[in-house]
Amino acid sequence: MKHVITAALICAAGPALANGEEVTIRGEVIDTWCYFSGVMGGPDAVQGTAHHTCAIWCSAGGIPVGLLGEDGTVYMILSINGDDQNASGQTQLELASHDITASGRLFARDGLNYLVIDEVVEDHGITNTNHTDFGVVPGFAIPNPEG
Amino acid sequence: MWKYLISLALLATPATAQEGPFSEGSEARSWNLAWEEPARFEATVVDMLCEVAGDCANECATGRQLGLLRAADGVLTYPNKNNQGIFTGAAVDLEPYCGMEVEVDGLMIEDEYVGATNVYLVQRIRAAGEEEWVTANRWTDAWEVQFPEAAAEEGRWYRNDPRVLAEIEGEGYLGTGESWQEAWEITR
């Protein structure tokens, strides 16, 4: 798809350590359940502007958020800037669908990647404008303004 | 047009769940997800940040994600979802059991294409040795306690949650600043 915005750049990668591998990654903050489960369609439809409202709902609802890198790797976010409220927390809620560059520590466990974000180096805003391809997902996310 | 194709794709999703290594004895309800597997197993409820990254200062505190360290093989599974079909995670349901041994029943998601493995939807929980199962649907009860005024409004929680409404007020339904009317029109 043309609207690939989630450029992931591992700019610095130190050796794997017990306290994690130091990394800097660029990607989109996503709602992992919709992405992993396919409950609302394919992975390209459950990110970006098309899925922004649902991403807010899911983040507020306590579904884990992740960072989706350019190569499609998902990093489950464990904390952001020292905020350990990774279930319904305000810091992650405000970053829903945002394209960010983050530095932190990467862990791998039983097939999943986990990321402790020590610093959001740059918030690029919401850059994946895929509503032009998918509309809004789910279709009822935007209520009819005329009631 | 894509939204209609997505809907058709959803309708075409196979309705029969696949069996997995922990499916025996499961009474999990299918969600008709392509890569779901019924999974019932014993586990210890663990704090994810503590278990994975060693950050244990606030272990098991409210608002931290919880995982299931499976007894049979030591694999850490990540409950992304509870039993409610309304955008709700599983931490609230697991919190009373943090640090305890439990048995859980639900759906495991294994989809190599999107990198999903050991991702879990928990439907019911019981502490080790208990007879009665507890359905994993506590999230909205907890939300109603936290936001009583919003809970008194008509409609689903996600239409009334003040934090959600503040985000939409700030960035719009698409997140890129369009008004409600504009967002509605360009996505029809």
Each residue of A40-55: pLDDT tens digit?
999 999 999 999 999 9
Residues of A in contact with B70 (CB under 8 A): none
Cα distance between residue A94 and residue A125, in whole Å: 10
Q: Based on the number of CB atoms within 10 Å of its own CB, is A95 exposed (0-12), middle (13-18) or buried (19 or more)?
A: buried
Cα(A28)–Cα(B118) distance, integer angstroms:
22
Domain count, chain A: 1
Please say whether the beta carbons of B72 and B115 come within 8 A: no
Residue A76 belongs to what domain range?
21-134
The whole-chain average pLDDT of chain A stands at 90
Higher pLDDT among residues A142 and B3, named by residue:
A142
Would you say residue A120 lies in a domain? yes
Judged by CB atoms within 8 Å, which residues 102-141 of B form the interface with A? 109, 111, 113-119, 121, 139
Whole-number pLDDT of residue A147: 85
Residue A2: pLDDT over 60: no
pLDDT on residue B4? 45
Instruction: Identify whether A140 is part of a domain.
Output: no
What's the pLDDT score for residue A19?
86
- Give yes or no for residue A136 having a pLDDT over 70: yes
- Kindly indicate the confidence band of residue A13, based on its pLDDT and cuts at 50, 70 and 90: very low
What is the interface pTM, i.e. ipTM, of the complex? Answer: 0.91
Residues 6+ apart with CB under 8 A from B21: none
Chain A residues with beta carbon closer than 8 angstroms to that of B171: 52, 126
Which residues from chain B sit within 8 angstroms of residue A37, using beta carbons?
A: 31, 33, 35-36, 80-81, 109, 116, 119, 121
Q: Residues of B with CB below 8 A from A84's CB?
A: 49, 55, 58, 61, 63-64
Distance from C-alpha of B48 to C-alpha of A76, rounded to nearest angstrom: 10
Among 2.40.50, 1.10.730, 3.30.70, 3.30.310, name the CATH number for the domain at B15-136.
Answer: 2.40.50
Interface contact flag, B53 A61, Cβ < 8 Å: no
The answer to whether residue A57 is domain-embedded is yes
Q: Give the pLDDT score at B17.
A: 65
- pLDDT tens-place values along chain B, 188 residues long: 444 444 444 444 444 568 999 999 999 999 999 999 999 999 999 999 999 999 999 999 999 999 999 999 999 999 999 999 999 999 999 999 999 999 999 999 999 999 999 999 999 999 999 999 999 999 999 999 999 999 999 999 999 999 999 999 999 999 999 999 999 999 99
How buried is residue B20: exposed, middle or buried, by Cβ count under 10 Å (0-12/13-18/19+)? middle
* B9–A42 CB contact, under 8 Å: yes
Q: Which residue has the tokens 């649907």?
A: B137
Q: Does a cis peptide bond (omega within 30 degrees of 0) precede residue A138?
A: yes
Q: Is residue A15 part of a domain?
A: no
Nearest CA in chain B to A78: B49
Domain of A31: which CATH number?
Answer: 2.40.50
Residue of B nearest to A20 (CA): B53
B90 or A1, which is more confident: B90
B78 touches chain A (CB under 8 A): yes
Chain B residue closest in CA terms to A106: B53
How far apart, in whole angstroms, are the C-alpha atoms of residue B67 and residue A119? 24
Instruction: Give residue limits of the domains in chain B.
Output: 15-136, 147-186
What confidence category does residue A109 fall into, taking pLDDT thresholds of 50, 70 and 90? very high
For residue range A79-107, list pLDDT tens digits in order.
999 999 999 999 999 999 999 999 999 99
In a domain, A12, yes or no: no
Residue A117 lies inside a defined structural domain of this protein = yes
DSSP assignments along chain A, one per residue? -----------------TT-EEEEEEEEEEEHHHHHH-TTS-GGGSSTGGGHHHHHHHHHTTPPEEEEETTS-EEEEEEETTB--TTT-HHHHHTTT-EEEEEEEEEEETTEEEEEEEEEEEE------THHHH-SSSTTSS--TT-
- What local confidence, expressed as pLDDT, does residue B106 receive? 98
Contact A45 B2 (CB under 8 A): yes
Residue A102 · residue A119 · CB < 8 Å: yes
